[in-house]
């Protein structure tokens, strides 16, 4: 199952880490601030994308 989490802050980061423990999930974490991804262990089940979703052209 594919899951996208918007925001890698106080809620998004632990949510992604917890969901990544179950290998049936493919998690994408999107955040405007690329430094928010530092604590996430990027592996097979977590990918990250730096994006500003408030921009209309997205």
Which bin fits 7, alpha (ψ -120 to 50), beta or left (φ > 0)? left
For residue 37, the SS3 value is helix
For residue 12, the SS3 value is helix
Inter-residue contact 43 to 16 (CB < 8 Å): no
Give the global pTM: 0.85
- Hey, what domains does the chain have and what are their CATH numbers? 2-50 (3.40.50.720)
pLDDT in tens, the chain (58 residues): 999 999 999 999 999 999 999 989 999 999 999 898 888 876 778 999 999 988 877 5
Inter-residue contact 29 to 16 (CB < 8 Å): yes
For residue 47, the SS3 value is strand
């Amino acid at each position: 199952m594919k899951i996208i989490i918007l925001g890698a802050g106080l809620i998004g980061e632990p949510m992604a880490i917890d969901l990544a423990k179950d290998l049936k999930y493919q998690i994408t974490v999107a955040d405007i601030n690329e430094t928010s991804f530092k604590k996430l262990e990027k592996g097979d089940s977590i990918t990250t994308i730096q994006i500003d979703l408030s921009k209309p052209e997205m």
